[in-house]
Amino acid sequence: MNSVILRVGTRYLAGLLLVFSFYMMLRGHNEPGGGFIGGLTGATGFVLYAIACGTQDARAALRVMPQTIAIWGLGIALAAGLFAALFGDALFTGQWLFIGATEDDKGLPLSSVLVFDIGVYLVVFGSILTLVFAMEEEI
Amino acid sequence: MAGGFATDTRGNGLTGIVPVLFAAALFAWFASMVPTIAATEVIRLTIPWIPSLGIELAFLVDGLSLTFSLLISGIGTLVLLYSNTYLAGHPQYARFALFLTAFMVSMLGLVLADDLILLFVFWELTTLTSYMLIGFSHETEKSRRNALQALFVTGAGGLAFLAGLILLAAASGTTSISGIIAQGSALKEHAMYLPILILLLAGTFTKSAQVPFHFWLPNAMAAPTPVSAFLHSATMVKAGVYVMARMHPAMSGTDVWLWTLTIFGAVTAVFASLLALRQTDLKQALAYTTLMALGTLTLFLGQESGYAMTAFATFLIVHSLYKASLFLVVGCIDLSTGTRETDQLGGLGRIMPITAIAAALAALSMAGFPPFLGFIGKELKYAGAIAVASEPLFVAGAALLSNALMLAVAGVVAFRPFWQGAVPSGQSPREAPWQMWAGPIILASLGAVFGIYPDLLQVALINPTVISLTGEVGEAKELKLWAGINIPLFLSIATFVLGLLFYWRHVQLRAMLERGFQSIPNLDKGWDSFLDGLKGFAKWQTQLVQNGKLSSFLFGTFLTIAAGILLTLLYTGMPMIAVDLSDVEWKHTSIALLTIAGALLALVTNSRIAGIAALGVVGIGIALIFIVFSAPDVAITQLLVETLIVVLVAVVMLRLPSMPKAEFRLNHAVLSIAVGVAVSLTLIAVVSSPLDLRLTEYFEVTSWPEAYGRNIVNVILVDFRALDTFGEIAVVVIAALSAYALLRTTRKGDQK
């Protein structure tokens, strides 16, 4: 699609969508959101970019093959699940670390659950872009 | 191959030596258990495996399993030593040694397992490793085909076997084999006894190649000769016999057991001996005599008398010793002369004296001449046959005929190539290297040693084995070379006379059999046409369902869904529809109207883009419903997916030819309404029954304290049900990669 307005708009929109997708993923544990929604949102940003500027540019902007991202996501999710085994828990049991926690405040929570969610994000993001790029290019 | 042995007899280095040492160590280990077992004790080893199901890694060494273990590891050692020279310098020897060792370990596991599930795992492992071994020469199509045939036949039997084991475990309330046997005759009176028996026998008969499942075994001889010697004479094919023997105390004694095993065993024994005499290929002849032995073993397991059980234990050992030995001898002949055809062999006795001696010793044991163990085995067979209360004549007759034929085959395989005729021109045979004659000589000599000193075997293995078979002490009969003048002795003499007559006339007999067997349907050919038919059917139904037209494919899918749901609803009774519209607000109505409008537009439009957009409207309508009923996560996902689908489909649609100028698509409309009605009715039925809220409450209560999250949907996804999510994202990746691969290949196909 050759439209200057769309192309210029996309520059900002795609970036915004990516930041927003990350925000959606992070807040997912307590508010609506999560890795799945985040991944979809992020993918939308790149799909928009591909429509406006072509898949070649979109691939260049992504730098990595989308399949690789999806596979890495799967690996990260698996690693987050296996991590529990180190502590003798059943696989995929969430492991938590509260940095600076006090009596009333939980501090900054870090968890293997978040890592797992990042894996989900990357899988959804990578898989959708794999499909969309291939369709755009091949059909 | 003609022209003698490979000059390199050093073998294959470490890959050749290590498996031999491993097997020898196993043999020594099992041999060290003999004194304990001879004192009628048992050794147990139990490791918890799946405690929640009561399944254990339980192993049991008693007379029966020790006899098998010694045969497996002992013959395994000799066969591995033999293979190292037989396949010296083979580029894939490491693979071969791995398969053979893996098979040996699986087989040991099978005979030592004391848990039904564990038994099945090892059972299937032997099937798989033997598939690899039969198909070892995978460059030839015949080898691949025969390997697959063996896999299918024994694998199908394995499925029945699994079903039988599960029923057995359910019926007796335990998966422990010792536990089941300890329950005594409870199983025989159980209502499920017959189904269990049929399913188990389906497994053991296919594995042990009883008629009519026998056809795969001779074909399995496509494997290298040491494999045939190991798997198809001494070990794997006896797995079925082993399981029948193991279950003997718990299941024997009924009429069904007696008659099924007796008839199948007897028919297999006689039928196989006739087929064996018909063969001109030495290896094929031996293959059929193995069938005969399996039939005989099955025949004896049908009985309960101490004689039959002693005969079983003795014949099991005798057969493994002489048969493995003869197979290895045939391998020597094959490698030395380049042929296994009887009429192209002769005069090898002077050139290969040691091989000839091994062959002679083994064959004399097989033919049942004194003072070999084979003679004792045969005497016991007759004693066992006569002890059959119901039909002694039938059993003894079958045993007599098959033994006489066996004698003739022994002559054809081990006497004729060595001591008759002269070496045909064009062959330059040489004696085999020691690694290759060691196995046959040792195994064949054992037949003689045990024949002269039967007490050795009696105390060490026969008595404990008979105890395993009958569950009682003191049932075993004595092994004796000279048991006095009695009926078995007369039957033995009759066997010799008849057998020598058969051997003397074997060429004419073979021609007669050739004619006779032409009128019997060939099961091997039948197998091929069965497979062809199956493939033809699969092709036909695939073309019917997947005819390449997406719209008709989808139409069929949804029609099936609608019909399935609606018919089920009709059958189970329609849910009571009491729709209360009083609390419906205007926002609900407008969303419904929007959705319906989208659906109607999709139905009537002639533009693909409009159709996709209309479907998008339907999707967004549904997302709005989610929002109204406060499920924001689902709504967001739905909206995003809808957006992406519209984009994706639009990309494709723009390249497609425009839709035919269509009128109102009535059949599509009817189908859509049918699916909608079916789903709605199901939902109403689900909602009208009281909702079980226990799970919801559980998640509401535990989400924050246990998983530190307030968004229950996400907490379930990434914590409570993380394993499910992992499975789902794995599917997502696989789907994306498959679609990617498909799209790429299409483009390559289209490029001009």
B-chain residues near A127 (CB < 8 A): 732-733, 735-736
pLDDT in tens, B593-608: 999 999 888 888 877 7
A5/chain B closest Cα distance in angstroms: 19
Among A123, A128, A134, select the one facing B729 at the smallest CB separation.
A123
**HEC assignment per residue over B408-453:** HHHHHHHHHHHHCCCCCCCCCCCCCCHHHHHHHHHHHHHHHHHHHC
Is it the case that residue B711 has pLDDT exceeding 90?
no
Is it the case that residue B662 has pLDDT exceeding 70?
no
Is it the case that residue A139 has pLDDT exceeding 80?
no
Is it the case that residue B468 has pLDDT exceeding 90?
no
* Centroid of chain to Cα B539: 26
Contact B306, B287 (CB under 8 A): no
A-chain residues near B647 (CB < 8 A): 47, 51, 132
What pLDDT, on the 0 to 100 scale, is given for residue A1? 58
Structure tokens at B9: 């007899």
Structure tokens at A32: 């609506």
Q: Could you tell me the CA-to-CA distances from B327 to B176, B290, B646 in Å, in that order?
A: 37, 11, 69
Enter the DSSP assignment of B57.
Answer: E
Could A138 and B633 be called an inter-chain contact, meaning their C-beta atoms sit closer than 8 Å? no
Structure tokens at B237: 């094919």
B-chain residues near A67 (CB < 8 A): 736-737, 740
Contact B562, B674 (CB under 8 A): yes
A24/chain B closest Cα distance in angstroms: 11
Residues 39-78 of chain A whose Cβ lies under 8 A from any Cβ of chain B:
40-41, 43-44, 47, 51, 67, 70-71, 73-74, 77-78
Contact B441, B354 (CB under 8 A): yes
Contact B449, B22 (CB under 8 A): no
What's the rounded mean pLDDT across residues B8-15? 70
CB atoms within 10 A of CB B557: 11
Least confident of B24-28, B529-533, B601-605: B601-605
Enter the DSSP assignment of B690.
Answer: P
What's the rounded mean pLDDT across residues A111-138? 90
Among A33, A44, A123, select the one facing B733 at the smallest CB separation.
A123
Is it the case that residue B88 has pLDDT exceeding 70?
yes
Sign of the four-CA dihedral B202, B206, B211, B212: positive
Using the Cβ of B632 and the Cβ atoms of chain A, whether some distance falls under 8 Å is answered with yes
Among B633, B655, B726, select the one facing A139 at the smallest CB separation.
B655
Could A134 and B739 be called an inter-chain contact, meaning their C-beta atoms sit closer than 8 Å? yes
Enter the DSSP assignment of B3.
Answer: S
φ/ψ of A58, rounded to 5, equals: -65, -40
Q: Which residue of A has its CA nearest to B654?
A: A139
pLDDT in tens, B400-448: 888 888 888 888 888 888 888 777 777 778 888 888 888 899 999 998 8
pLDDT in tens, B308-331: 888 899 999 999 999 999 999 999
Could B637 and A138 be called an inter-chain contact, meaning their C-beta atoms sit closer than 8 Å? no
* Residue recorded with tokens 């040489």: B430
Number of Cα atoms under 13 Å in the Cβ half of residue B409:
32
pLDDT in tens, B337-387: 888 888 888 888 888 888 899 999 999 888 888 888 888 888 888 887 777
3-state SS, residue B48: strand
Mutate to test the interface with B, among A76, A108, A135, A136 (most CBs of B within 10 A): A135
A-chain residues near B737 (CB < 8 A): 67, 70, 130
Residues 2-21 of chain A whose Cβ lies under 8 A from any Cβ of chain B:
none
What pLDDT, on the 0 to 100 scale, is given for residue B165? 94
What pLDDT, on the 0 to 100 scale, is given for residue A75? 94
- CA–CA distance, B248 with B263 (Å, rounded to integer): 17
The overall average pLDDT reported for chain B is 85
What's the rounded mean pLDDT across residues B281-295? 89
A-chain residues near B713 (CB < 8 A): 34
B547/chain A closest Cα distance in angstroms: 22
Is it the case that residue B6 has pLDDT exceeding 80?
no
Phi-psi region of B226 (alpha: psi -120 to 50; beta: other; left: phi over 0): alpha
Sign of the four-CA dihedral B457, B459, B460, B461: positive
Q: How confident is the model at residue B752 (pLDDT cuts 50, 70, 90)?
A: very low
Task: Collect all residues with Cβ–Cβ distance below 8 Å to B342 and sequence separation of at least 6.
Answer: B280, B281, B282, B285, B412, B416, B417
Whole-number CA gyration radius for chain A: 18
B708/chain A closest Cα distance in angstroms: 8
Enter the DSSP assignment of B305.
Answer: S
What's the rounded mean pLDDT across residues B69-87? 92
Picking from B32, B20, B125, B131, the residue whose alpha carbon sits closest to that of residue B76 is B20
What's the rounded mean pLDDT across residues A21-41? 88
Angle formed by the axes of helices B353-367 and B434-452, to 10°?
30
B-chain residues near A44 (CB < 8 A): 640, 643-644
Contact B591, B624 (CB under 8 A): yes
Q: What angle do CA B524, B529, B535 make, to 5 degrees?
A: 130
DSSP result, A30-65: TSS--HHHHHHHHHHHHHHHHHHH-HHHHHHHH-S-
What pLDDT, on the 0 to 100 scale, is given for residue B389? 61
Q: How confident is the model at residue B7 (pLDDT cuts 50, 70, 90)?
A: very low
Picking from B183, B381, B394, B209, the residue whose alpha carbon sits closest to that of residue B301 is B381
Using the Cβ of A104 and the Cβ atoms of chain B, whether some distance falls under 8 Å is answered with no
Among B726, B740, B743, select the one facing A67 at the smallest CB separation.
B740
ipTM for this model: 0.91
Using the Cβ of A88 and the Cβ atoms of chain B, whether some distance falls under 8 Å is answered with no
Q: How many CB contacts within 8 angstroms connect chain A with chain B?
A: 139
Q: How confident is the model at residue B202 (pLDDT cuts 50, 70, 90)?
A: very high
B623/chain A closest Cα distance in angstroms: 14
Is it the case that residue B751 has pLDDT exceeding 60?
no
Task: Collect all residues with Cβ–Cβ distance below 8 Å to A68 and sequence separation of at least 6.
Answer: A126
Using the Cβ of B731 and the Cβ atoms of chain A, whether some distance falls under 8 Å is answered with no
Is it the case that residue B581 has pLDDT exceeding 80?
no
Residues above pLDDT 70, as percent of chain A = 94
DSSP result, B504-570: HTHHHHHHHHHHHHHTS--HHHHHHHHHHHHHHHHHHHHHHH--S-HHHHHHHHHHHHHHHHHHHHH
Q: Could you tell me the CA-to-CA distances from A16 to A22, A58, A117, B28, B172 in Å, in that order?
A: 10, 16, 21, 73, 66
- CA–CA distance, B284 with B584 (Å, rounded to integer): 82
Is it the case that residue A101 has pLDDT exceeding 80?
no
Q: Which residue of A has its CA nearest to B633?
A: A32
What pLDDT, on the 0 to 100 scale, is given for residue B254? 87
pTM flag (> 0.90): no
What's the rounded mean pLDDT across residues B213-239? 85
Q: Which residue of B has its CA nearest to A25?
A: B714
More confident residue, B8 or B691: B691
* Max mean pLDDT range (B2-6, B15-19, B471-475, B518-522): B15-19
Is it the case that residue B109 has pLDDT exceeding 90?
yes
Is it the case that residue B657 has pLDDT exceeding 80?
no
Residues 698-717 of chain B whose Cβ lies under 8 A from any Cβ of chain A:
707-711, 713-715, 717
Is it the case that residue B638 has pLDDT exceeding 80?
yes
Could A74 and B737 be called an inter-chain contact, meaning their C-beta atoms sit closer than 8 Å? no
Q: How confident is the model at residue A79 (pLDDT cuts 50, 70, 90)?
A: very high
Could B633 and A33 be called an inter-chain contact, meaning their C-beta atoms sit closer than 8 Å? yes
Is it the case that residue B128 has pLDDT exceeding 80?
yes
More confident residue, B573 or B304: B304
Using the Cβ of B744 and the Cβ atoms of chain A, whether some distance falls under 8 Å is answered with yes
Peptide bond into B454 cis (omega under 30): no
A32/chain B closest Cα distance in angstroms: 5
More confident residue, B21 or B603: B21
Angle formed by the axes of helices B63-86 and B306-337, to 10°?
0
Number of Cα atoms under 13 Å in the Cβ half of residue B254:
17
CB atoms within 10 A of CB B648: 17
- CA–CA distance, B417 with B330 (Å, rounded to integer): 10
Using the Cβ of A81 and the Cβ atoms of chain B, whether some distance falls under 8 Å is answered with yes
What's the rounded mean pLDDT across residues B383-397? 76
- CA–CA distance, B418 with B635 (Å, rounded to integer): 86
Q: Which residue of A has its CA nearest to B704?
A: A30
A35/chain B closest Cα distance in angstroms: 9
Residue-range domain boundaries for chain B: 14-504, 692-752
The overall average pLDDT reported for chain A is 87
Is it the case that residue B483 has pLDDT exceeding 60?
yes
Is it the case that residue B151 has pLDDT exceeding 80?
yes
Mutate to test the interface with B, among A17, A76, A131 (most CBs of B within 10 A): A131
Helices (H), B61-140: 63-86, 93-112, 116-134
